[in-house]
Amino acid sequence: MATADAYAVLAERHGYPKSARYLRILEFLMTPQQARIAADLPSTPEEIAERQGIPLEMVNSEIEALFRKGVVFPKNFETREFPRFARSVAQLHDATQSILDIELYDDETKKELFRLWEDFCEEEWYPDRMADMDRLVNPPMRIVAAYRAIKDLPDVQPFEDMRQILKAQESIDVCSCTCRKRRTTLGMDCEHSHDVNCFQFNRGAEYATIRGTGRRLTYEQALELVDEIEEDGLVHNWRNDRGMHMTVFCSCCIDCCMIWHPIDTHQKNIGMYWAKSRFQAEVDPELCNGCQTCVDRCMFDAIEMVKAPGSKKLKATVDPEKCFGCGVCVLKCEPAALHMKTVRPPEHIPEVGAALGH
**pLDDT by residue for the chain (358 residues), tens digit each?**
666 699 999 999 999 999 999 999 999 999 999 999 999 999 999 999 999 999 999 999 999 999 999 999 999 999 999 999 999 999 999 999 988 767 788 889 999 999 999 999 999 999 999 998 888 999 999 999 999 999 999 999 999 999 999 999 999 999 999 999 999 999 998 888 777 789 999 999 999 999 999 999 999 999 999 999 999 999 999 999 999 999 999 999 999 999 999 999 999 999 999 999 999 999 999 999 999 999 999 999 999 999 888 777 899 999 999 999 999 999 999 999 999 999 999 999 999 865 544 3
Total tally of structural domains belonging to the chain: 3
Structural domain of 286: 279-342
Query: Is 194 found in the same domain as 147?
Result: yes
Give CA–CA dist 169/165, Å, rounded.
Answer: 7
Residues 39 and 140 in one domain: no
CATH code at position 322: 3.30.70.20
Q: Which contiguous run of DSSP H or E holds residue 89? A: helix 89-97
Q: What is the pTM of this model?
A: 0.92
271 and 325 fall within a common domain: no
In degrees, rounded to 5, the angle at the alpha carbon of residue 9 between the alpha carbons of residues 179 and 91 is 25
Peptide bond preceding 42 in cis form (omega within 30 of 0): yes
- Measured between alpha carbons, how far is 316 from 323 in angstroms, rounded to an integer? 13
pLDDT reported for residue 115: 97
The side-by-side arrangement of strands in the sheet containing 235-239 is 214-217, 172-175, 198-201, 248-252, 235-239, 141-144, 274-275
Question: Which pLDDT score, from 0 to 100, does residue 191 have?
Answer: 85
Q: Specify whether 169 is located in the same domain as 71.
A: no
Contact 251, 236 (CB under 8 A): yes
Confidence (pLDDT) at 352: 84
Check whether residue 298 and residue 263 sit in a common domain.
no
